[in-house]
Amino acid sequence: MIQKILIANRGEIALRIVRACRELGIKTLAVYSEADVQSLHVQLADEAICIGGPKSSDSYLRADRIISAAEIADVDAIHPGYGFLSENAKFAEQCESCNIKFIGPKSKSIKMMGDKAVAKDTVRKAAVPIVPGSDGPVETEAEAIKAARKIGYPVIIKAVAGGGGRGMRIAHNDISFAKEFHVARNEAEKAFGNGAVYIEKYIEKPRHIEFQILADSHGKVLHLGERDCSVQRRHQKLIEESPSPFLRADLRKRMGKAAVRAAEAAEYENAGTIEFLVDAKGDFYFIEMNTRIQVEHPVTEEVTGIDLIKQQIRITNGEKLDFDQGDIKFEKHAIECRINAEDPARNFAPSPGTIGLYYSPGGHGVRVDSHVYGGYTIPPYYDSMIGKLICFGSTRKVALERAYRALSEYIIRGIKTTIPLHKAIMSDPTFIEGKATTAYMDDFLSRTPPDLFS
């Protein structure tokens, strides 16, 4: 029986985990860097241990200090959140060998799905459609160009150890391919310490539609529907919604079944997400599996009514999922706007600093997941996301209008945020009509004057 959980993360997700633990009567231990002493979850947790200096590499990525803290405070389990060590198979293994439960899948599933080429191969064998590509990494330029011609241009060159939209280059012909191939390898080596790349067909203007998976340790694997995350800038998601305005019931059913098969092929346990690209014809292709809880999990929580963090803890406790696929209902439409401390009028320049007046929206169908407050200073060492606004209602129209209303009420003074950008998107006809693909943001920004956001 888990009685104490160490939260190996920070910001809004750490607060989210503290809240779930509180409701379950589980004690919380926050580990934090010196830059996060004033963080809300550190103040709210039952216990707190400082694990290092401000830089992530000196704190949140220090597996040794985190496990040391877990041992001296006698915790039963560690929740890694998202990012940081959440998809670090070695960290999960260390927890396993120290007899500390890792709230997530087994380390072998993380390893399997962490290598993008292995992941594709694994799900392909489970009859899950994958993007046509090289079978595994390509070693030489000659091999790579041969693969590119076989697949047919345009192609995308991806880092084997990449993910989260990083380490990717597109080529439209032989000439640009040679250059992009070498650039991609160099970038991959620098960013991930592994220069291996593979080639895939580049699907033009696809929608990014992902399926939420929950799997217990007794063999039950379910999906909780999709999230459409097509509104992205430089491969970073800005807005996520569910259901997808593009999917019809039959395609949803087929994709849901494929997502479950993919998770089963990975011998998956706990919460995870299968990501697909969907083209205009409705053909879908597996791109990767995220073996962790995701930023946008609240969208699924509001649509289905299922608390994903609590389910993660229950699954780690060895409990069976007490519902079946047919019990999961998709009752609402939900849309999430990621609020970042960035200035959309100045090319999204980061805007750390101290928040003055802070007023978050409320009312029917409005949820705010944020760790910031009036007087809080955003440290410059971490990512710029300061909160998530999730609005939901009985139809997509209600959810969108509600999001616009809530964004209009939201006051964050002292820093620049992406709130005005989200308001503009909520009023944009292309988005309102449900026509946004992954090409949407570039198009929207090119036809929208930047001073609309100031």
Among residues 101 and 223, whose Cβ is nearest to other proteins? 101
State which of residues 24, 61, 73, 398 lies at the interface with other proteins (CB under 8 A). Answer: 73
> From the CB of 424, what's the least distance to other proteins, in Å?
33
Region near other proteins per CB under 8 A, out of 252-260, 265-273, 305-313, 368-376 = 368-376
Binding of other proteins by 328 (CB under 8 A): no
Region near other proteins per CB under 8 A, out of 70-78, 153-161, 275-283, 335-343 = 70-78
> From the CB of 288, what's the least distance to other proteins, in Å?
32
Among residues 70 and 308, whose Cβ is nearest to other proteins? 70
State which of residues 194, 360, 377, 448 lies at the interface with other proteins (CB under 8 A). Answer: 377
Euclidean distance between CA atoms 390 and 403, whole angstroms? 8
> From the CB of 73, what's the least distance to other proteins, in Å?
6
Q: Read off the tokens for 8.
A: 């190996």
> From the CB of 25, what's the least distance to other proteins, in Å?
13
Region near other proteins per CB under 8 A, out of 63-71, 199-207, 219-227, 310-318 = 63-71
* Nearest alpha carbon to residue 136 among 198, 193, 188: 198
Binding of other proteins by 337 (CB under 8 A): no
Cβ(153)–Cβ(172) below 8 Å = yes
- DSSP for residue 149: H
* Nearest alpha carbon to residue 200 among 260, 235, 160, 232: 160
Cβ(315)–Cβ(102) below 8 Å = no
State which of residues 219, 353, 356, 375 lies at the interface with other proteins (CB under 8 A). Answer: 375
Residues 283-312 that bind other proteins (CB under 8 A): none
Task: Write out the catalytic residue numbers.
Answer: 292
**In the block, residue with structure tokens 């101290």:** 354
Residues 20-49 that bind other proteins (CB under 8 A): 29-30, 34, 37-38, 40, 42-49
Q: What are the distances in angstroms from CA 53 to CA 35, 57, 72, 77, 191?
A: 7, 9, 20, 24, 22
Categorise residue 155: left if φ over 0, alpha if ψ from -120 to 50, beta otherwise. Answer: beta
Among residues 31 and 390, whose Cβ is nearest to other proteins? 31
Buried b (16+ CB within 10 A) or exposed e, 78-87: bbbbbbbbbb
Euclidean distance between CA atoms 163 and 182, whole angstroms? 19
> From the CB of 390, what's the least distance to other proteins, in Å?
25
Euclidean distance between CA atoms 254 and 128, whole angstroms? 10
Strands annotated E in 329-384: 333-340, 342-343, 349-350, 353-354, 358-359, 366-370, 377-378
**In the block, residue with structure tokens 């919460």:** 271
State which of residues 13, 21, 67, 214 lies at the interface with other proteins (CB under 8 A). Answer: 67
Binding of other proteins by 88 (CB under 8 A): no
Euclidean distance between CA atoms 272 and 127, whole angstroms? 19
Binding of other proteins by 95 (CB under 8 A): no
Among residues 94 and 300, whose Cβ is nearest to other proteins? 94
> From the CB of 169, what's the least distance to other proteins, in Å?
39
Binding of other proteins by 176 (CB under 8 A): no
Among residues 72 and 452, whose Cβ is nearest to other proteins? 72
> From the CB of 82, what's the least distance to other proteins, in Å?
23
**In the block, residue with structure tokens 């002292």:** 414
Over the window 434 to 453, marking each residue x when it contacts other proteins by CB under 8 A and - when it does not, the resulting string is: --------------------
Binding of other proteins by 65 (CB under 8 A): yes
Euclidean distance between CA atoms 160 and 15, whole angstroms? 32
Euclidean distance between CA atoms 168 and 234, whole angstroms? 10
Give the count of residues interacting with other proteins (CB under 8 A).
34
Applying CB under 8 A, which residues contact other proteins? 29-30, 34, 37-38, 40, 42-53, 59, 64-69, 71-73, 98, 354, 373, 375-377
